[in-house]
């Protein structure tokens, strides 16, 4: 079969691999197996052409990868379940026990890409996507969530825009686990924001108290 030519491959009844460039010569008689159209770059074709040893090695590698997935998936599921429980507990603590109502956000991931400038087809611009673990109003109440912002352009003509926020519970597993690592930082930032608000409120209370005393005299 010439390079770049499509062929037909399958397994014979005796377990051997066959490859033929002419579909007409690949019989579907009993024991010939079911032919499958493939391209010459497919790994299984290369392995078969390299001989039984390479095909056996590839099978062993595949079995090893599958076993690794089988061994790791329970640990991944356990880690995700535990993260779900802890984030739900922290959110309940902030909302029900503390009634905080003061937001905060912590950056946990940044990605960059190049795209065409919508105002100039001959120029590209850098788009930086920032992902934040947040505690803020999402819908009718405060929730822990994930916010995305875009920073577009160079230093002289850049702008930042919020492009969406979702509750943490609705995010995919990868985002959950990546953001979970900065949950302590989020709590620390919330505490700092609350402290700043308290200090400011105490100052306002002192001013109001003095004004009240003055008016009463």
User: Considering the domain boundaries, does residue 61 fall inside one?
Assistant: no
Which residues pair with residue 216 across a beta bridge?
A: none
What integer pLDDT is reported at residue 8 of this predicted model?
A: 40
User: Could you give the number of structural domains in the chain?
Assistant: 2
Q: Are residues 203 and 170 located together in one domain of the fold?
A: yes
What integer pLDDT is reported at residue 146 of this predicted model?
A: 97
Cβ burial, residue 201 (10 Å; 0-12/13-18/19+): exposed
What integer pLDDT is reported at residue 49 of this predicted model?
A: 56
The first and second tokens of residue 171, run together, are 């995010």
Helix (H, G, I), strand (E, B) or coil at 167: strand
Kindly report whether the global pTM for this prediction surpasses the value 0.75. no
User: Do residues 21 and 2 touch, judged by C-beta distance below 8 A?
Assistant: yes
What integer pLDDT is reported at residue 18 of this predicted model?
A: 42
Q: What is the DSSP letter of 97?
A: I
Q: What is the DSSP letter of 32?
A: S
Q: Are residues 77 and 127 located together in one domain of the fold?
A: yes
Euclidean distance between CA atoms 161 and 149, whole angstroms: 5
Q: Are residues 127 and 198 located together in one domain of the fold?
A: yes
User: Considering the domain boundaries, does residue 182 fall inside one?
Assistant: yes
Q: Are residues 30 and 134 located together in one domain of the fold?
A: no
User: Considering the domain boundaries, does residue 98 fall inside one?
Assistant: yes
User: Considering the domain boundaries, does residue 178 fall inside one?
Assistant: yes
Q: Which residues of the chain have pLDDT under 70?
A: 1-55, 153-160, 213, 216-217
Chain segment 80-116, per-residue pLDDT in tens: 999 999 999 999 999 999 998 999 999 999 998 887 7
Q: Are residues 146 and 178 located together in one domain of the fold?
A: yes
Q: Are residues 37 and 88 located together in one domain of the fold?
A: no
What integer pLDDT is reported at residue 19 of this predicted model?
A: 43
Domain enclosing residue 117, as ranges: 72-216
User: Considering the domain boundaries, does residue 64 fall inside one?
Assistant: no
Q: Are residues 85 and 147 located together in one domain of the fold?
A: yes
Q: Are residues 14 and 117 located together in one domain of the fold?
A: no
Q: Are residues 13 and 107 located together in one domain of the fold?
A: no
User: Considering the domain boundaries, does residue 58 fall inside one?
Assistant: no
Q: Are residues 25 and 80 located together in one domain of the fold?
A: no
Q: Are residues 110 and 34 located together in one domain of the fold?
A: no
Chain segment 46-67, per-residue pLDDT in tens: 555 556 666 677 788 888 888 8
Q: Name the CA radius of gyration of the chain, rounded.
A: 31
User: Considering the domain boundaries, does residue 211 fall inside one?
Assistant: yes
What integer pLDDT is reported at residue 51 of this predicted model?
A: 60
What ranges make up the beta strands (E) of the chain? 7-11, 17-20, 36-38, 104-117, 120-138, 141-152, 159-167
User: Considering the domain boundaries, does residue 2 fall inside one?
Assistant: no
> How many residues can be counted in the chain?
217
Q: Are residues 156 and 207 located together in one domain of the fold?
A: yes
């Amino acid at each position: 079969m010439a390079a770049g030519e499509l062929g037909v491959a399958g397994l014979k009844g005796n377990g051997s691999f066959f490859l033929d460039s002419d579909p007409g010569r690949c019989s579907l008689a009993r024991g010939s197996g079911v032919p499958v159209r493939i391209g010459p770059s497919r790994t299984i074709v290369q392995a078969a052409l390299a001989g039984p040893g390479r095909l056996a090695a590839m099978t062993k590698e595949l079995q090893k990868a599958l076993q690794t997935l089988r061994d790791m998936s329970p640990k991944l599921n356990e880690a995700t379940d535990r993260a779900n429980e802890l984030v739900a507990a922290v959110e309940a603590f902030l909302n029900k026990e503390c009634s905080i109502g003061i937001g905060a956000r912590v950056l946990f991931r940044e990605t960059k890409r190049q795209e065409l400038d919508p105002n100039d087809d001959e120029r590209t611009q850098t788009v930086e996507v920032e992902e934040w673990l947040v505690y803020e109003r999402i819908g009718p109440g405060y929730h822990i969530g994930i916010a995305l912002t875009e920073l577009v352009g160079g230093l002289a003509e850049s702008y930042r825009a919020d492009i969406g926020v979702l509750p943490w519970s609705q995010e995919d597993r990868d985002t959950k686990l990546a953001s979970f690592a900065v949950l302590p930082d989020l709590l620390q930032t919330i505490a700092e924001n609350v402290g700043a608000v308290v200090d400011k409120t105490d100052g306002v209370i002192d001013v109001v108290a003095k004004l009240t005393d003055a008016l009463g005299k």
